[in-house]
Amino acid sequence: MVGAIPEVTSHEMMCPNRYAVAALIALLWTIANPMQAQQRDAFRVGSIEAPAGQMASGFLEIPAGVDEGTEIPVTVMNGARPGPVLALIAGTHGYEYPPITALQRVRRQLEPVELAGTVIMVHVANVPSFLGRTIYYSPIDGKNLNRAYPGRPDGTVSERIAHTITTQIIERADYVVDLHGGDGNEALRPYVYMPVTGEAELDAAVRGMAVAFGVDHIVIDEGRLVDPTRSVYTDQTALTRGIPAITTETGQLGSNDDHWVDMAERGIWNLLRHLEMVAGKPEIETAIVWLTDYQVIPSPATGMFQPSVRDGYAVAEDGLLGVLVDFFGDPISDIRAPFSGIVNYVLGTPPVSEGEPLAMVSRIVER
């Protein structure tokens, strides 16, 4: 281990004592055994411990509290060489499958002996939502995990999951990626949220990650939060702690089709290359559409939605996005675009409750 080798000062080299001799032996050992010199400490998350150059998988337990408990499947891949700690979190919303499947593929292909640094994979952050096949909300407490951060140890199950991920994973990472897709009801054109904090160094790191992921639509997210105790979102939990983070969106409508899985997987490999954790260069889109001022359009009433646009469509200001109808099919209201821009996603299945999203629209940034 490099850190254990006593420092050799010029004074000690001039006047050899037993420490200097020990240091010299350590130095020669280092030169003769480069792999040994790079031996790193084990990395432990909960009870999951991976020695350097190895992988370990297991569960973080969320014990029962005010409601029932659950567990979070996690893999720790600890590289043989030094490097950053990258947290990849899938399944925050349990109906968003492509990133979950992509992480399983990367786990099979990534060789820890060839990895620089440590990858923490959260395979399914929200197991109750995944097994319960629910969109947005946990079937246990009715909460949205991506609004529950940083969580609390004595809260409901979503809050306890958030607390565990915050303290055991996010706060130990150098980079965080929250991997989403269109939820089971969302027809979504793939994009990455690139948060902006106003801190130059942090923003440069976030921008590097957003571009490296390799999806050609990037939504600039200026909804900055500053209080780490009220971080609400996964990415803001990292950012309010000074850790670069992005949220990615690949997939839609509950599909686990290879097309979407490939896209999520390519993004993960791109990030590993960008952060120099594996060899190679990321495949970066040359023509990125930069988007801003994103607006989520809430439903004015409960009923059924009939979209007249598709994900990725360009819309004019006041252009028709769709029609909200009641249970008999009679129109309640037209839903129109607040400004001209791109449809990031639109509701792709009929049911909607008052206040739930019908669509998200962003302005194109002219550059």
| Interface residues toward Zn ion, by CB under 5 A | 93, 96, 180
Minimum Å distance from CB 102 to Zn ion?
14
- Which residue, 134 or 240, is less far from Zn ion as judged by CB? 134
The full DSSP string for 172-223 is G-SEEEEEE---TTEEE--EEEEE--S-HHHHHHHHHHHHHT--SEEEEE--
Could you tell me where the beta strands, DSSP code E, fall in the chain? Answer: 43-45, 48-50, 54-62, 70-78, 81-90, 116-122, 175-180, 186-188, 191-195, 217-221, 245-249, 289-298, 303-307, 314-315, 320-325, 331-336, 341-347, 351-352, 357-364
Minimum Å distance from CB 95 to Zn ion?
8
- Which residue, 144 or 197, is less far from Zn ion as judged by CB? 144
Minimum Å distance from CB 47 to Zn ion?
28
- Which residue, 140 or 202, is less far from Zn ion as judged by CB? 140
Contact criterion met (CB below 8 Å) for 237 and 149: yes
- Which residue, 118 or 344, is less far from Zn ion as judged by CB? 344
Minimum Å distance from CB 250 to Zn ion?
11
- Which residue, 96 or 265, is less far from Zn ion as judged by CB? 96
Rounded CA gap, 338 and 38, in Å?
56
Minimum Å distance from CB 131 to Zn ion?
17
Contact criterion met (CB below 8 Å) for 322 and 308: yes
